[in-house]
Structure 1
Amino acid sequence: DAFLDGEAFDRLPDVSPSPFKAAGTVVMLISYYDGLIEAMPGFDMVRELKSFVSLEENVHVGEELEKTIDIFTLTGMCVLVHPDPEVLAADVAAIRQMELDG
Structure 2
Amino acid sequence: MTRQSDVQECMNSISNRSEKATDVRAYDEQSVEERMRKLFTEIAEKKAAEKKKADELAQIPVKNEDVEVLMSELGWERTVAEHRLREKKGDIVAIMREVVGLPKAKVTVKTVS
TM range (shorter): under 0.3
Using CA pairs under 8 Å that are at least 6 residues apart, name the structure with larger relative contact order, 1 or 2.
Answer: 1
- What TM-score do the two structures reach when normalised by structure 1? 0.26
Q: Which has the higher helix share?
A: 2
- What TM-score do the two structures reach when normalised by structure 2? 0.24
Q: Which has the higher strand share?
A: 1
